[in-house]
Chains A and B, each alone.
Chain A
Amino acid sequence: MKKVKYLSLAVIGMMLTVISVAQTTEDLITKHIEAIGGKENWKKVNSMRSEATLSTQGIEVPIIITQVHNVGMKQEFSVMGMSGYSIIGVDGGWNFNPMQGQTKPEPITQDELNVGKEQLDLQGEFIDYKEKGHTIEQLENEDIDGVACFKLKLTRKSGREATYILDPKTFYIVRTISKMSVNGQEIESTINLSNYQKLPLGISVPFTMENNMMPAPINLTKVEVNIAVDQSIFKVQQ
């Protein structure tokens, strides 16, 4: 009898394991979208204004990111008394970084613009991804810090790929890996996401982002959703 009990435990254990492992791609997408607030709530998001700080050894770089869904995004920052910004609009992108000696805004490259435009989908690439022309493929689980995480490869309508790593417990995205072309060279960017917080609309966003190309993590301090945005900010002022 004892043997039978252990056997049953093992069988049930195996079943549960199988259930937890055998997630279809659609299951994973649905669970992730639910984990971050659900499709319905995210489809209500039209604009977002985030305040963030990049801090390293006491140097603090305040950043303000203003986004309007599928219209534009502006990132403003201040370093050592100087201010700069970058703009991605539907019809172009600009960069002004006086720290690099720029004295006026300059257009970004087509490669950068292509990447930037894909970020204008404020509601997230997973929601209605088929209608958007993207495809998603589940890859073998990725071992992140000893945890077997789900791995999804998203191929955008443009053909550009991004890989998303999902925590198996929370279904939050814990890492994104994307490739971009800079002057014909393939550059890989890895961003670790954490500190998910719920916003009044019911959606959750990661408040901490660590990018392998940045010197320190970026922490969001305030996020406002569906605020009024003067869209002229997405045009360059020479």
Chain B
Amino acid sequence: MTHKYNTGSKLKNQLALTLLILYSCFSNTAVAQNEVNASIFGTLEARHLGPGTMSGRITSIEGVTNDEGKTLYVGTAGGGVWKTTNAGASFKPIFDKYCQSIGAIAIDQKNPKTIYVGTGESNMRNSVSIGDGMYKTTDGGSNWTKLSGFDSSEHISKIIIDPLNNNIVYVAVPGALWSDSKHRGLYKSTDGGKSFEKILFISDKVGCADLFINPINSQIVFATTWEFRRTPYSFSSGGEGSGIWKSIDGGKSWKQLENGLPSKPYGRTVITAAPSSPNNMIAIIESKSTGLYISEDGGESWKQQSASLNVVSRPFYFSTLVIDPKDPKRVYRPAYSFSYSIDGGYSFAEASGDGGWVHSDHHALWINPNNTNQLYLGTDGGLYTSLDKGATWVFNQNLPIGQFYHVAHDMKKNYNVYGGLQDNGSWMAPSSGPGGVGIGDWKPLFGGDGFWVVPDPTDDQTVYAEAQGGNMARVDTRSVKNVMIQPTQTKDEDKLRWNWNTPIAVGQANKKNLYTGSQYLYRSTDQGRNWVRISDDLTTNDKKKQEQENSGGLSADNTSAENHTTIFTITESPLDENIIWVGTDDGNLQITKDGGKTWNIISKNISSTGIPSQAWVSSIELSHFNKDIAFVTFENHMYGDHKTYAATTKDCGKTWQSFKSNDFSGFAHKIIEDPKNGNLLFLGTEMGLFSSLDGGANWFRMKYNNIPWFTLVRDMKIHPETNDLIIATHGRGIMIIDDISSMRNMTKEILNKEVTLFETGDIILSSGNFGNGGSPSTGGWVAPNAPALKPFQYYLKDRLSSGDVKLEIYDAYGKLVQSLPGTKRKGINKVTWNQRIQPPKTATGASRPDNAGAIAPQVLPGTYTLKLKVAEKEFSQQFKLIHIEDKSFTLKERTTQFNAAMELYTLHINLASLVSSISLKQKEFNTRIPKIKNKKNKKLGDSYLNELETLRATLIPTKQSSMFADEKRLREEITEVYMPLCSGDAGPSNLQLESIENLKQKVEDASKRFNQINTLHEQKIKQALEKEKIS
């Protein structure tokens, strides 16, 4: 038995060993094979263009109470959380790895580095984004922990930390907008957020909208519940589940408040009390008689006060009501506009408007409790600051949180980008410009909510822009004058149905074609002056989904946002103008191959992929390489389904393959194909940007590219000349990833090699695209420019943790021109050479620095060799620097400029050598000559030293004085001519050439003078020193 047991044991051990070896083999294989993922392309960093001129929706503002209103956390609708520590002079995003839709923020004022963030905005408009739960930081936002229990909460409206016990946290969760949900209600934690208990729940249809804790007796808690629902074609606010609740035992038991309140049903209710007198309460209750109600006995009884327009307008969207921390009678109602009451809510007045327009639609207000003049207001257009209790406001232009729907570009040099912003109109801006792209570079083109802004490819002064509901115009970009061009209803046609976000498209095959769609598709070939209807109704025309006039629930709300059974996306094939694909918001995907004469509905072919039949067709990309290949995104979130749906067909819609990835999150807005590599795809969703290098078989999240990991990507374009990926985000403005060609060129072979030096190709000689106006930005958001010089690129399979990386450039004669330190990150590395040799070593020992030591002449065109040294390995390739002939800077001028600059470069080196020789002589004799006892010889020695120093002082500045006291010496004279010849695109002038000769003579004279001084004195001094044995 023993023997048998031992054998068994031995076998088992052997098996285990084998398995371990096998595992390690697998493990090594896994390590050896590099997978395509975002980390490889981390150097492709997005530039955030803004705008700061027009910002985006702010949902929450909270400030630290004990630091003079300087530290604030600002939550946004789609741009994460931003922190300022200087009262808004600058902001930093601190939530870029998490969901970007923010519902509520709470600061633990006892320990203000502890902050809670609830994701999922609760301003329940049609375009609101969901969240994915609650987060907590204990270090002011550097590190965040996700709290359990809220993954499916979708929307969070308020978080309050018990002012008397910071372990107690209340969270109000309205919950899902588009579906029933059990994850609604009021939640409470008693352990600082480690665990939560649901303490008020009405039903799957009713969430918790608002919350107030009595700051003096925090066992007294008020909560409002809200029954609400959206469908793609309607909105309803109100129901029997809505109510106002009070607890006097910290949420253990509740009673519903009724005394003096209007009859039910209610819609959304906002409730608060005066911090300085918490029995004085106010509430705005949405009901059949919506109005402001006031209580003086802690909510036990109520009476109606104001029902002015701003108090009662859109209660589902405006749910902010704040009482001054010190003055219980001063009530603020930020809503459609900013109004305030000084009599406790009996009457309201509007802010003055002096100091500039304040964007309408307000959602957040924070008042510094220690200085109640200081207010911060969050609107649909950004953040405002007031120092006079809201009478006047200053706009913060440094929050680039615009919510774009679409983006386009033109083909100009330093191309312009165009896009439409949620509640903020249509805009254009250059992609780069002098000093970067600043707030003054953005130009408004059209009003309302902005969506598609499409430049006419045949007319560089015309764009097509629109406001909600298809109100579109042809706009002259010079004057910004516009002509309305929306197609109108004709005889025998149904009433036209225009999507809130109506598509406008120009032809890809025939750029004269302009398209738009209601339920019908229209084409114009004369810039929208005349239209031809080229389809019947392409939607399901389901009449049940066309009753928008009844939308809103208790408060009517029909602003075209719920328009349905409409065309949502239009794409003309880049290969054939007769092939047009159209997608609708009710699940129809239709194709014509004869320019609109006949249409074929292909939606039914997609059902096998599992994509729901009613899903919106959110984007269509027709391949640049094959007429039968298409990529389509679908989205079904308005039915409570937030999954990512994207699919492709290779047979013009007969069969479909759906794209899958564990990385996917958020419903899909846009898919695009790279116009040069059909396997490179980008997918934008409500929660991230994804890329595939293999035609959609594998995807990865673009998260190392200076892009928030879960950013809301609504639209994208790839510029065909610059290869830039231009991204429209719904919360972080326009982003540009300059030149994505390294993604295009990545292969499996490269991925698995330790090091690859990419072919550089020809590089254009350039001194940059823009000059420097001399004045730095004085504020507002400024985006950096696209790089003017093409970088060297190499791939490292892994980050180099030991060994160095260096790049050396040699000229055609093998002479080292420049040596550059390399970066060592995993994946693509980029190092840019400024196309210059090493700056000259200018004369040292001066009392002032000399700028010539920082700049060198730009090299001449020709063939150069790049050597990449990675630890012990070396890789090399040749490349060409190209001069682009230009009448303002010819090759001859470039050559004469270089030669002239090099003469001065040499002069600097010669002068440095001369000054160094003088200094050496001074060093040799300075301490010895004072020791000479013989008076005559001592005098001779002093004279020698004086003459040396006098000469030196003619060559470089030697006075130790202020930086504001210029001291021009021969070194500076050389630099004065040298610098312009290094920096401008021009040949040398006649006077510059004359100056060079003059300067040469001066250096030569100085050298002669040095020799004269030495000849005159040195030997005699040496003899004198020797005589007195002074060493």
Contact = CB atoms under 8 A, between A and B. Distances in A.
A101 B704 CA distance: 39
A58 B841 CA distance: 11
Interface of B: 15-16, 19-20, 22-23, 26-27, 37-40, 42, 70, 85-86, 139-140, 142-143, 145, 703-704, 799-804, 818-821, 823-827, 833-834, 836-839, 841-851, 853-854, 856, 960-964
Most chain B beta-carbon neighbours within 10 Å: one of A16, A140, A167, A186: A186
A80 interface: yes
Contacts of B818: 57-58
Nearest to A80: B853
A79 B849 contact: yes
Given A13-B23, A163-B142, A194-B800, 8 more contacts: A13-B27, A81-B845, A81-B846, A145-B827, A153-B143, A163-B143, A195-B804, A197-B802
A29 to B, nearest CB: 18
A195 B37 contact: no
Nearest to B71: A186
Given A57-B834, A167-B801, A9 B23 contact: yes
Contacts of B70: 184
Contact of B850 (A80, A163, A167, A210): A80
A5 interface: yes
A207 B804 contact: yes
Contacts of A13: 23, 26-27
B134 to A, nearest CB: 16
Most chain A beta-carbon neighbours within 10 Å: one of B40, B799, B842: B799
A64 to B, nearest CB: 16
Given A82-B849, A186-B85, A145 B834 contact: no
Contact of A146 (B39, B140, B839, B961): B39
Interface in A49-82: 55-59, 79-82
B731 to A, nearest CB: 22
Contacts of A216: 821
Interface in A8-31: 8-9, 12-13, 16
A177 interface: yes
A42 interface: no
Interface in A162-178: 163, 167, 170, 172, 174, 177
Interface string A114-146: 000000000000000000000000011001111
Main secondary structure of the interface of A (DSSP, over half): strand
Interface in A148-207: 151, 153, 161, 163, 167, 170, 172, 174, 177, 179, 184-186, 188, 194-197, 207
A186 B71 CA distance: 10
Interface of A: 5, 8-9, 12-13, 16, 55-59, 79-82, 98-99, 101, 103, 139-140, 143-147, 151, 153, 161, 163, 167, 170, 172, 174, 177, 179, 184-186, 188, 194-197, 207-208, 210, 216-217, 219
A128 to B, nearest CB: 24
A133 B38 CA distance: 40
B23 A145 contact: no
Contacts of A184: 70, 85
Given A145-B42, A172-B801, A195-B802, A81 B850 contact: yes
Given A57-B820, A80-B842, A146 B849 contact: no
B837 A58 contact: yes
Given A57-B833, A98-B849, A101-B963, A195 B142 contact: no
Nearest to A11: B19
Contacts of A57: 818, 820, 833-834, 836
Contacts of A170: 801
A145 B70 CA distance: 34
Nearest to B18: A5
Given A12-B20, A163-B142, A208-B804, A147 B826 contact: yes
Contacts of A59: 839, 853-854
A174 B801 contact: yes
B243 to A, nearest CB: 40
A219 B847 CA distance: 28
A81 B39 contact: no
B49 to A, nearest CB: 22
Nearest to B825: A145
B82 to A, nearest CB: 14
B281 to A, nearest CB: 38
Nearest 4 pairs of A and B residues by beta carbon: A146-B39, A101-B963, A80-B853, A81-B844
Contact of A195 (B801, B842, B964): B801
26 contacts: A5-B19, A9-B26, A55-B820, A57-B833, A58-B818, A59-B839, A79-B853, A80-B842, A80-B850, A81-B849, A82-B848, A99-B849, A101-B962, A103-B961, A140-B143, A147-B826, A170-B801, A184-B85, A188-B142, A195-B803, A195-B804, A195-B824, A197-B802, A208-B824, A216-B821, A219-B804
